[in-house]
Structure 1
């Protein structure tokens, strides 16, 4: 049994490393493509590092399917990765990267807004309606010019998959930097405190 577990782990590592083998700093000139940079400040084991990167790929591929973009013709490409803490700079179809960036920001903002006093970082729920209210995937697809009228069933399934992969990606992260935009629990808590104080002042003035 132990040998089977080790073999399964090695197969997973091999599969992940085939995609994330190149650790290079590069740029690609393509009018149909754009870059996404994401930094997760925690330190990861090799397995955790690969799983985070695989989540990025899975979210991208799912959005390609919804956007009618071929992930074979426009695969997500690694421009740079750094280990320890995770810094990944990737390149892909502009429309899909824009969607992906917005969804990660929405997911991170939600879990940070729901950070508890006990110090537990929340997760994006699994219920389709709740996921849509948090990520607003349908409206974001429409904004990118995607016709969603025939996508209801696919959209529901994809929402669950994307939420699952987002949870894997940002799990345990107190701070995430997306395209040099920092999102952190501390900043979100401070914003909530300011908003609470403003509401209190309005109440007192009344």
Structure 2
């Protein structure tokens, strides 16, 4: 699937998903209004003075409980179950047609969107159940379903918007300059979801920008431009300043080798700090910079900071793939290592992010 076909698919799906926005807005408002009373109820229940025979406690308790029920009743006065159900059926049928129009879209992608529609159906059925029975205990079940569905909708819509925005921005005809060069990256994972798609592009672009800073290359004159993007097994062909592309491709290759080799021979996933230390000591990286006409001093604090930023961005990409082609060079893990590597990398990425956040908070307090 080409970048243009992928863009068309995302645009069509996003348009259909956005037809559910009014429904989502009504559910969000219901959740917010109920939560105001719900939080106060929780505060009362877990207070030290809570007792069912304490009038000072039970009077506000009953008032907020009644407030929850009132919110639900007001919602039902405005909410048209039949109209929203018909809208869901219409959107589901139209998205089914889009799937048929783009048969190459992965099964996981279809399931993600289908699950969102199924969850909307579940919410509608729960609302109908409440209307029939007026059983207030159903409100708790409904709130949980509403919360999950709204989060899911916002996540999918935001991912597709980011993809649409990026691809519309970069789909213009490329005017290649003599001092520019192509960087080709091919990730061979079976399924690239929208979030990972955006992460790939953002991480590569961030690393390119940092390398431009190191080499004092103007991003205004030589921004990273997209020549081609294909989904499925994610393929990107990017155009940038020649020496920056050469240095970046070499760094991606070295980090990939470090991470894959460490796991192959020792069964360990490298942390960001470990990768940075190995990069600083790697004579081949320093030699590459010299070949390109740059003297890099890893004793310089700014140089270390720049390389940490690239280690972070590139490490996130390599931590989520087991096979990558960098220009013409293939790097991969053996099949028996893939599942364990992806699982352990995922855990380590979360841990590294948490530690980094704690460090930032500590630094801010110190300042």
TM category, shorter? 0.7 to 0.9
What is the CA–CA distance in structure 1 between the aligned matches of 2:283 and 2:271, rounded to whole Å?
A: 9
What is the CA–CA distance in structure 2 between the aligned matches of 1:169 and 1:61, rounded to whole Å?
A: 16
Match of 1:31 in 2: 178
**How big is the alpha-carbon RMSD for the aligned residues of Structure 1 and Structure 2?**
3.5
Task: Determine if contact 1:101/1:178 at 8 Å carries over to the other structure.
Answer: yes
Give runs of aligned pairs for residues 54-65 of structure 1, distance below 5 A: 54-65=202-213
- SS of structure 2 residue aligned to 1:30: coil
Match of 1:86 in 2: 234
* Residue among 282, 292, 301 paired with 1:144: 292
Task: Name which of structure 1's ranges 104-113 and 21-30 shifts more when overlaid on structure 2.
Answer: 21-30
Task: Determine if contact 1:40/1:173 at 8 Å carries over to the other structure.
Answer: yes
Match of 1:107 in 2: 255
Give runs of aligned pairs for residues 41-190 of structure 1, distance below 5 A: 41-42=188-189, 43-116=191-264, 122-123=269-270, 125-127=272-274, 128-134=276-282, 137-148=285-296, 152-186=300-334
- SS of structure 2 residue aligned to 1:146: coil
Structure 1: which 5+ residue stretches go unaligned?
190-206
Structure 2: which 5+ residue stretches go unaligned?
1-31, 33-146, 338-367
Q: Using the TM superposition, give the Cα deviation of residue 140 of structure 1 relative to its aligned residue in structure 2, in angstroms.
A: 3.1
TM-score by length of 1: 0.74
Between Structure 1 and Structure 2, how many residues are aligned? 187
Q: Which has the larger radius of gyration?
A: 2
Q: 1:120-177 CA deviation, whole Å, 9 max, x = no partner?
A: 6723531543332359654433331124359812211011111111111112312111
- SS of structure 2 residue aligned to 1:81: strand
Q: 1:39 to 1:154 in 2, by over 3 A?
A: same
Q: 1:4 to 1:73 in 2, by over 3 A?
A: farther
Q: 1:25-70 CA deviation, whole Å, 9 max, x = no partner?
A: 9765321100011100111110111101111000100000000001
Q: Using the TM superposition, give the Cα deviation of residue 7 of structure 1 relative to its aligned residue in structure 2, in angstroms.
A: 6.2
What is the CA–CA distance in structure 1 between the aligned matches of 2:277 and 2:176, rounded to whole Å?
A: 39
Q: 1:103 to 1:132 in 2, by over 3 A?
A: same
Higher relative contact order (CA 8 A, sep 6+): 1
What is the CA–CA distance in structure 2 between the aligned matches of 1:37 and 1:121, rounded to whole Å?
A: 28
The structure whose residues are more often strand, as a share, is 1
